[in-house]
Amino acid sequence: VCLHTGSAQWAPIPAPDTPFETITTLFPVNGLVACADMLWSGIPLRFPRLNITLAEGGLGWAAMLADRADFVLAHSGSGREGGSWKGDLLPSEVLRRNFWFCSIDDPHAFGALDAIGADRILVESDYPHADSTWPDTQQVVARNVAGLSAPDAARITHGNAAGLFRHPLPDEGWLITA
């Protein structure tokens, strides 16, 4: 299931005189809300093999959501007894098992890979929208993965998408690296 950043049940509504850039800046909040909605709905617990991809939702909030959801489960009044969470896994574990996160340009988020795993991240360009990384997508991706190991960079740049969408990669030699 691919959810667009606008798939949330709720989205922040800025003041009427807010500049357009504010709305674009808040797009990742929509991804966070859509992910939290889906996580707490119980659907990923009932369907453990379901893959949920959050397109154009950003990445920087994912580690915070993993931490916060685990905290809420452990500390909220509902907790595990009588609450909506019916699984043996922690919410952060379900995020790492069922969810895929997409990054247009989240350079600082790549430093928190341990929270969700390099095997759950995809890159995207958002072409042809105004906030697209095109025509500089190659440079943006190279900058974002520069501090990662070669295997993690390969997973994030193409391997994860090929596996998730069951799209075979070309024979060896197709990828040219600098």
Rounded Cα–Cα distance for residues 98 and 39 (Å):
9
Over the stretch 120-171, which tens digit does the pLDDT of each residue have?
A: 999 998 888 878 889 999 999 999 999 999 999 999 999 999 999 999 988 8
pLDDT band at 84 (very low <50, low <70, confident <90, very high): confident
Give yes or no for residue 56 having a pLDDT over 90. Answer: no
pLDDT bracket for residue 65 (50, 70, 90): very high
- pLDDT category of residue 79 using cuts at 50, 70 and 90: low
pLDDT value for 43: 95
- Give the model's confidence band at 81: pLDDT under 50 very low, under 70 low, under 90 confident, else very high: low
Task: Say whether pLDDT at 14 is over 90.
Answer: no
Residue 83's CB is within 10 A of a number of other CB atoms, namely 13
The predicted model scores a pTM of: 0.88
Which domains does the chain possess? 2-164 (3.20.20.140)
Residue whose entry in the numeric block shows the structure tokens 């993965």: 145
- Residue 152, C-beta contacts closer than 8 angstroms, at least 6 positions apart: 113, 118, 145
* pLDDT (mean) for 16-20: 88
Confidence of residue 39 (pLDDT cuts 50, 70, 90): very high
Mean pLDDT of 87-103: 95
Per-residue 3-state assignment (H helix, E strand, C coil) for 10-59 = CCCCCCCCCCHHHHHHCHHHHHHHHHHHHHHHCHHHHCCCCCEEEECCCC
d(CA 119, CA 27): 23
pLDDT at residue number 141: 92
pLDDT of residue 80: 59
Checking if the pLDDT of 52 tops 60, the result is: yes
Rounded Cα distance, 97 and 117, in Å: 10
The pLDDT assigned to 130 comes to 79
* Contact predicate 153/159, CB 8 Å: no
